[in-house]
Structure 1
Amino acid sequence: MNVFMLPDLGEGLTEAEIVEWRVAVGDVVVVDQIVVEVETAKAVVDVPCPYAGRVTALHGSPGERRPVGQPLVTIEPVEALAPPGSVVPAEPAGSVVPAEPVVPAEPAGHAVYREEERAGSGNVLIGYGTGHGRSGRRRRRVAPAAHVARPVGSAVTAASTAPATRVISPLVRRLARDHGLDVAALVGTGPGGIVRRGDVEAALSSTGTGVTRPEHGATPAPASGATPAPVPAADDDVVIPLTGVRRAIAEKLSRSRREIPEVTIWVDVDATGLLDTRAAINAARPDRRVSVLALLARICLNGLRHFPELNSRVDTEQGEIIRSGRINLGIATQTDRGLVVPVIPDAHGLSTYDLAEALAETTAQARAGSLAPARLTGGTFTLNNYGVFGVDGSTPIINHPEAALLGIGRIVDKPWVVDGRLEVRKVGQLSLTFDHRVCDGGTAGGFLRHVADCVEQPALLIAHV
């Protein structure tokens, strides 16, 4: 038997939560076939298996956290089942029948790959497979795991004969699981019968199921014609496990507050000139539109070149301040899974147009949960647009181990004095939270004033280049 262990996840991650099994006991799998979807503190990731053969055991249930190096799947080798090139004999009733003949044992080149996986190299997860297997993936009928009904810690023992349900988005699966819905009973309205978020929400409305998550350990009733899970009364406690991204956020913010002596300063700015500049840029190139956030990012990048102290981190063990030569810009992004900070590496080398495109693509991928874990670490400075929530100001927590974070509130019409006259202008508030260990108030104030001046008079950017 080959036992596939949860590989080294990289990025300092030591465990993952099982979201959904893509195979069941009795299935025949090929090298690099996706066998499970897991959620780490960084992202939801499909995990391919480096072994070919028949699945004899699945270790863990959806919702269970597995440490790195612990068993995930046990595979009976292909050569133990049938000679190379032969067809798998007929299966007993109720088992899953593969759509194709069994693939012969993998080429010798995979032996090195398997040794790397056993050594915990992480290539299986980080590289998403070896790339040497077949380019296509077999389609097989695999019954979805009973996510909510199975108690945490129980093992999958047999393959179900229920028809397959196509659910691509991990957010849709999580929404259904959290509200006690059996996705196998849903009819998808997406292309090819894919179950969308709207299908789950429609099922919740039709069954009258509440949106409060059942108490931890409870077993919600299935949604297919049965009585929906009871909705806790208003005075009942609701237990929400602190797992996945939410847990990582809590740990990182707590560490930031423990270790960083942070200070926040702020200033109101007249952003009328910035909005006029954006309108002129977009009028000149309607095919490559630039957002206000992209212009603010451009100003921050320029300011960090003049005040590099804020593009630093503190190594407490070595007693050193490390000033980064590169500017990897983090963008605070609210997603359905929580607040994440995707990173645009070497942002200082991008043009304003390229920066705008990178911002749009990066935040869209972060919200979809499709960013690689490496894109969620390595930032040196963070930009936070909390104005989208309709608030004016904030004192955000620094994204450890960075040294500073610039935030911008909403930009609204306000009275403003211009050349001794009272006018209605587009006014917003900028706030800078910084690590007092890397610089003092004079440096931080200089950076914030530089950013504010460029927001009010964007032409100053040319003078500071």
Structure 2
Amino acid sequence: MGDGRMSTRDFLLPDLGEGLSEAEIVEWRVAVGDVVTVDQTVVEVETAKAVVDVPCPYPGRVVALHGAAGEARPVGQPLITIAPLDGGDGPDPHATYREEERAGSGNVLIGYGTGHGVPGRRRRRPRLSSAPGSAVPGSAVPGSAAPESVAPARPGPPAVVASGPSTAAQPATSGSPVVPGPSGTSGPSTTSDRSAVVAPLVISPIVRRLAKERGVDLASLRGTGPGGVIRRADVESATGAPAARPAAVPDAPAAHVGPAPTADGDVIVPLTGIRKVIADKLSRSRREIPEVTIWVDVDATRLLETRAAINAASPDAPVGVLALLARICLSGLRRYPQLNARVDTEGQRIVQSAGVHLGIAAQTDRGLVVPVLRDAQRLTTGELAAALAETTAAARAGTLPPARLTGGTFTLNNYGVFGVDGSTPIINHPEAALLGVGRIVDKPWVVDGQLAVRKVTQLSLTFDHRVCDGGVAGGFLRHVADCVEQPALLVANV
């Protein structure tokens, strides 16, 4: 709370899910000077799990945005500062500065080096770029050896940017970086710098990337945002394409768009966002879990016949092969609960879960994610099919909340959709097992002593050898294989 003429309220970045300590700002939905209402979405952020719209619980006028597009903000740190509308001429800028100083830094480097974030995490500063051929304050001029301006360690009190005609040359937009002036105040340092930004502006790295992908010349566009800022809608209107949610593709560092080629022709892809989380989690799984993979070929002909019979009886609620395999896995886990577990290394114990929180590996544009069906053992086969369809569709659209992507106890991975027969998948840490399913193809098979062509698939089970030995793992896989070959066995275990 500020201590000047008017109280202000800092809305802190909330906890967005299990184990998530920070979120990256994708796009601000408001600017300094805007009036917001309770529960109005003010910013779109990307966590390691999903893209989330964050609503503000306070009504009032925006007096500060803490962070720019592309910057990671720690959970529990200020995200936006709101001043009430009833009374007072405006917030005390010195009070605001004192609040920021107590948080660990000034207005230029909010969230950087405060000690509250993840150690070693570097802020990715977006560049304020304009149309080709126009200068940008703080950017290097071709042929000049002058480095890009760097924010001072202790800036002066922040200037409150107000919306209105007087700010047309320096728009009060969500991602605009603050360039320190001669005396530590924010703003362009020279008159020529101020006039240089009159050209069409692009602040969001998402807009720059979208324009590059669609071959749109930014200089030909007229921005509809505050101060002439070019928005996504402007680029989409120029190409006649419908609006697309940027959450499907993780944001690239603001210094360049997408993978950057080197002088030798190598392509450098930054390991950030969800790709970094995937890499860290898989590395941890291989580092900590002594995994073993076993597999078996099975005749899935009768399973496909069973699916066809179910769908013929209920054409309005079709059931897929994955839903039947999920039902079979649930049957196996009830018989072999040792695999529905995790190892607590700190407590030196094995924790068997009371419910089966079934993870379904899903390939998306943002990478491989594992949405979770909680207490899947309580669902009927039809309910499993509906939940699988809804969950995988939401995962690919990037609309699942982080809570739906954590807490799994067993994973089902259908890698057969990629046209492969088998795999030795990595366990989804901290789970203890994962069942993989290959493609179903016609193969010669012996049936009742006679050679026949059957629908055959390969099942693989990767398990943590700390939770069980080969007898349990083999028993589970054999039970699953027997139910695939003879679906009627499921009835005896329901």
- The TM tier, using the shorter chain, reads 0.7 to 0.9
User: Is 1:32 the equivalent of 2:60?
Assistant: no
1:56: how far off? 2.3
Bigger drift between 49-58 and 338-347 goes to 49-58
Could you tell me which residue of structure 1 aligns to residue 18 of structure 2?
11
Give the whole-Å Cα distance in 2 for the aligned partners of 1:443 and 1:61: 52
Which residue of the other structure, out of 53, 77, 88, is the alignment partner of 1:46?
53
2:164 counterpart residue number: 92
Partner amino acid for 1:186?
V
The superposition leaves residues 64-120 of structure 1 with CA deviations (integer Å, 9 ceiling, x where unpaired) of: 11112222222232224579xxxxxx9732669xxxxxxxxxxxxxxxxxxxxxxxx
Alignment partners' CA distance in 1, 2:423 and 2:210:
34
Asked if 1:176 is matched to 2:210, the reply is: yes
SS in 2 for 1:439: coil
Tell me which amino acid in the other structure corresponds to 1:350: L
Indicate yes or no: 2:441 matched with 1:412. Answer: yes
Alignment of 1:177-326 (within 5 A): 179=213, 183-188=232-237, 194-196=242-244, 218-219=255-256, 232=261, 235-326=264-355
Match of 2:482 in 1: 453
**Aligned-pair distance for 1:239?**
3.1
Q: Distance in 1 between matches of 2:454 and 2:314?
A: 26
Cα offset, 1:145, TM superposition: 5.4
Partner of 1:344: 373
Q: Distance in 1 between matches of 2:212 and 2:370?
A: 25
3-state SS of paired residue (1:79): coil
Is the CA contact (8 Å cut-off) linking 2:434 and 2:461 kept in structure 1? yes
Corresponding residue for residue 451 of structure 2:
422
Q: Secondary structure at the match of 1:55?
A: strand
The answer to whether the 8 Å contact 1:24/1:58 transfers is yes
1:23 counterpart SS class: coil
Name the CA distance, whole Å, in 2 between partners of 1:295 and 1:174. 45
Change over 3 Å in CA distance of 1:230–1:266 after alignment to 2: closer
Query: Structure 1: which 5+ residue stretches go unaligned?
Result: 84-89, 97-141, 199-210, 221-228
TM-aligned CA deviation for residue 5 of structure 1: 2.3
Distance in 1 (alpha carbons) for counterparts of 2:338 and 2:259: 55
CA distance 1:464–1:32, change in 2 (3 Å)? closer
Is residue 30–residue 43 contact of structure 2 (8 Å, CA) maintained in 1? yes
Paired residue secondary structure (1:416): strand
**How far apart in 1 are the matches of 2:179 and 2:46?**
16
The structure that has the greater radius of gyration is: 2
Counting matched residue pairs gives 383
Secondary structure at the residue paired with 2:454?
strand
AA partner of residue 399 (structure 1): N
Higher deviation after alignment, 282-291 or 42-51: 42-51
Displacement of 1:194 in angstroms is 4.9
Cα distance between partner residues in 1 of 2:368 and 2:187:
37
**Is the contact made by 1:151 and 1:217 (CA closer than 8 Å) also made in structure 2?**
no
Of the structure 1 ranges 57-66 and 308-317, higher mean CA displacement relative to structure 2 is found in 57-66
Distance 1:435 1:156 in 2: 56
Aligned-partner SS, 1:218: coil
Structure 1 SS opposite 2:86:
helix
Q: Look up the match of 1:402.
A: 431
The CA deviation at 1:398 is: 0.7
User: 1:352 and 1:464 mapped to 2: Cα distance?
Assistant: 14
Q: What is the letter of the counterpart of residue 44 of structure 1?
A: V
Partner amino acid for 1:339?
Answer: L
Number of the residue aligned with 1:360: 389
2:96 is the counterpart of 1:59: no
Asked if structure 1 preserves the Cα contact closer than 8 Å seen for 2:358 and 2:411, the reply is yes
Residue 23 of structure 1 is matched in structure 2 by 30
Q: Where does the alignment leave 5 or more consecutive residues of structure 2 unmatched?
A: 1-7, 91-161, 189-196, 217-229
The 1:334–1:219 alpha-carbon spacing in structure 2 relative to 1, beyond 3 Å, is: closer
> What one-letter code is carried by the residue in structure 2 that aligns with 1:2?
R
Assess if the C-alpha contact under 8 Å between 2:319 and 2:382 holds in 1: yes
Q: Which amino acid aligns with 1:35?
A: V
